[in-house]
Structure 1
Amino acid sequence: MHNCGNIAIIGGGSWATAIAKVVVKHTRHIGWYMRRDDRIADFKRLGHNPAYLTTALFNVNEIDFSSDINRIAHDYDTLVFVTPSPYLKNHLKKLHTPLYDKFIVTAIKGIVPDENLVVSEYFHRVWEVPYAHLACIGGPSHSEEIVLERLTYLTIACADAEKAQAFADVVAGEYIKTKTSADIVGIEYAAVLKNVYAIAAGICNGLKYGDNFQAVLLSNAIQEMNRFLTAVYPAQRSIDDSVYLGDLLVTGYSKFSRNRTFGKMIGKGYSVKSAQIEMEMIAEGYFGTKCMKEINSQIHVEMPILDAVYNILYARSNPQIEIKLLTESFR
């Protein structure tokens, strides 16, 4: 049986905080890299993350905090990366510790800009981490609900089934059910796309389209996702599984969804810039839309929803006209 060894969290946002809460409950010790020393000092003093999910209380004696990513990467066997995808490369720029012998778990539901690679592919190509040492966390999982201990189902994907199971055992608990998968790249692409589709759902909501239409939008979105995944990474997968369809639904419908909130503001007439300023938290789908559009320009899958969101966010198309055209392509 594989053992995950000692585990460290890389990142200081809400999803990082939720995952840290789940892991430390099981292991009683984690390393935690946060960029800012002032945040670490506040966290130690208050017993909770000062900036995100402040109701989640920690025993800080169980946490080895550091703003030195090299020390954390050197001292821990399993590194769980939970930074927003646009910032991943900046964190890694500081890293001189090799990663090829580490177990890397990515909980980043985004794509690495410029490279246009999902995170596991980025670690494989750029950091030479073998696929058997790479895993991802997927499934419908708003961090706010995990901290409230609401029942959540997570999928842990890794090419090495034993390692996937070992990490799944670390995060499983009374309110977290887990299963494993081998489809790491498919799950990561699905997680990028569902953020794009949640922006579309938000835009439609902001334009006063109702629930009837939202259901049609998300039905078409899952078909579009399936076409893309089949083209880019053919594998044995059921697109109606919770890690694909479930994650799409929660991101498209939930009030906790940042991407939906961002889209709703765009639908109501905010500019991209003003919506981003007002949000304060990052809507990964904004970056994901551009990356996916660029990837699809190479493989030419029919993706009308992606195209519509891209046109609205990047080509300054009128949302009303763009969605009207989209409705005519739906069945």
Structure 2
Amino acid sequence: MSKVAFLGGGSFGTALSIMLAKKGLSVKIWDRKPKVISDINIKRENVKYLSGIVIPAGVTAFIDLENVIIGSELIVLAVPSHAIRELSKRITPYLKQNQIIVSIAKGIEEGSSKRISEIIEEEIPSNPIVILSGPSHAEEVALDIPTTVVVTSKNMEYAKIVQNVFMSSNFRVYTNEDIIGVEIGGAVKNIIALAAGISDGIGYGDNAKAALMTRGMSEIIKIGTRLGGKIETFYGLTGMGDLIVTCTSMHSRNRRAGILIGKGVSMEKACKDIGMVVEGIKAIRAFYELKEKEQISMPITDVLYKVLFEGKDPKDGVYELMSRNKKAEF
């Protein structure tokens, strides 16, 4: 496959576009913002989302959605999770059945609790769907810093095709047949990253972050396995790997938003200051609904929901977590 379309000119979609163009592929980007389009085509830079990175000549941006889709063999949905359904509906009239749909979003849908692949399948039932996930900050991918990710699909033959398209000397792609585990791991870790950021913002140290990450992994496994994911998946790239990179890096918008909230900034102001979608905030609502329905104990998610949506002081939330009844670790 040599012709790839990215729908959404955000940071990660742009980074992947740069990588594929360096491999010699023809890449088109669609975005609804004229400024993003002109910056890519004229300045050869995505000033808003990936400033300072040169975009190769093999990448061209368009405002016309149909033009980007027609002729492309691989269609990458590079928008936040809450925009996936609307975009899927919008592109359906332009698609041919042999075009592979790839999603790089992480999350579940509020209300329905559906995974990204399930949302796309409902709106685009005739096309193969592949999910790409794993620990991969756009800023590092664009600079060719070694990165590993995972791809999954209901039909793994299509996952292998996507693996071949994206594989490079600095971007290693694994396959994993556990589509539920891959999607859930990538979504829940955003919640824990937000909590880790709040801990940093309050001024707590490495001990607190280690506790959050470890007990956060327990929450990922609890809900992931309840929904049908395999436990080994959560110890892999889309679980542990994604958790580590998102909880520890300043590239992580979830962690950065959490730091601001921990310092006393409102959730709304924190999101505005970050300037991009903070997926963890939407994930908290969705997974709070889901864990209540499934009757699963997820104390970090509980407390974070109270902090963000019920006005609980973050320090009081930490006290609530630390003063729960004694229990065994396993």
* TM-score exceeds 0.5: yes
Give the CA deviation at 1:28: 2.6
When residues 51 and 224 of structure 1 are mapped into structure 2, their CA distance, relative to the original with a 3 A threshold, is same
Partners of 1:259 and 1:141 lie apart in 2 by 14
What is the match of residue 228 of structure 2?
A: 233
Look up the equivalent residue of 1:143 and give its one-letter code.
A
What are structure 1's unaligned runs of at least 5 residues? none
Q: Secondary structure at the match of 1:75?
A: coil
Task: Give the aligned partner of residue 209 of structure 2.
Answer: 214
- The equivalent of 2:66 in structure 1 is 70
Q: Confirm or deny: 8 A CA contact 2:41 2:60 kept in the other structure.
A: no
- The residue that corresponds to 2:248 in the other structure is 253
> How far 1:98 moved relative to its partner?
4.4
Query: Are 2:123 and 1:126 equivalent residues in the alignment?
Result: yes
Distance in 2, Cα, partners of 1:101 & 1:110: 26
**Which residue identity is paired with 1:106?**
S
Distance 1:205 1:63, change over 3 A: closer
TM-aligned CA distance change 1:157 to 1:92, over 3 Å: closer
Q: 2:191 aligns with which of 177, 193, 196?
A: 196
Task: Give CA deviations for 1:18-40 in whole Å, capped at 9, x if unaligned.
Answer: 11112222243012111123321
Distance 2:204 2:35 in 1: 44
Structure 1 window deviating more from structure 2 (94-103 vs 176-185): it is 94-103
Match of 1:179 in 2: 174
Task: Return the letter of the residue paired with 1:215.
Answer: A
Spell out structure 1 runs of 4+ moving beyond 6 A: none
Cα–Cα, structure 1 residues 234 and 92, in superposed 2: closer, same or farther, change >3 Å? Answer: closer
**8 A contact 2:40–2:60 mirrored in 1:** no
Residue aligning to 1:160? 155
Contact 2:84 2:119 in 1 (8 A): no
Q: Per-residue deviation at 1:104?
A: 0.9
CA offset digits 1:257-295 (Å, max 9, x no partner): 110111111111111112122221221101111011112
Q: 2:131 aligned to 127, 136, 141, which one? A: 136
Q: Which residue of 2 aligns with 1:26?
A: 23
Extract unaligned runs of 5+ from structure 2: none
Name the amino acid aligned to 2:117. Answer: S
Q: Does 1:46 align with 2:43?
A: yes
Q: What's 1:269 paired with?
A: 264
Q: Equivalent residue for 1:106?
A: 103
Structure 1 residue 88 and structure 2 residue 84: aligned?
A: yes
CA contact (8 A) 2:5 2:72 kept: yes
Matched position secondary structure for 1:30? strand
**For residues 226-246 of structure 1, what are the alpha-carbon distances to aligned partners after superposition, in whole Å with 9 as ceiling and x for unaligned?**
111110124363422122101
Give me the whole-angstrom Cα distance separating, in 1, the residues matched to 2:212 and 2:293: 25
Judge conservation of contact 1:26–1:170 (CA < 8 Å) in 2: no
Deviations 1:284-323 (A, max 9, x none): 1011110111122221111111111111111111211111
Instruction: Return the alpha-carbon distance in structure 1 between the equivalents of residues 34 and 233 of structure 2.
Output: 44
Query: Shift of the alpha carbon at 1:219?
Result: 0.7
Equivalent pair of 1:73/1:97 in contact (CA under 8 Å): yes
Q: Secondary structure at the match of 2:48?
A: coil
8 Å CA contact 1:21–1:56 kept in 2: the answer is no
The TM-score, its normalising length taken from structure 2, stands at 0.92
Query: Which residue among 4, 8, 23 is the counterpart of 1:7?
Result: 4
In structure 1, give the amino acid aligned to 2:81.
S
Q: Supply the distance in 1 between the matched residues of 2:75 and 2:187 (Cα, whole angstroms).
A: 21
Aligned residues: 325
What secondary structure is seen at the aligned counterpart in 1 of 2:148? Answer: strand
Alpha-carbon distance in 1 for matches of 2:15, 2:253: 16
Q: Is 1:289 the equivalent of 2:284?
A: yes
SS state of the match for residue 168, structure 2?
coil
DSSP-derived class of the 1:112 partner = coil
**Identity percentage of aligned residues:** 27
Using the alignment, how far apart are the partners of 1:42 and 1:207 within structure 2? 38
Q: 1:300 aligns with which of 295, 300, 303?
A: 295
Amino acid aligned to 1:48: E
**Are the aligned partners of 1:8 and 1:30 in contact in 2 as well (CA < 8 Å)?**
yes
Aligned partner letter, 1:312? V
Superposition RMSD in Å: 2.0
Q: Aligned partners of 1:100 and 1:142: how far apart in 2?
A: 31
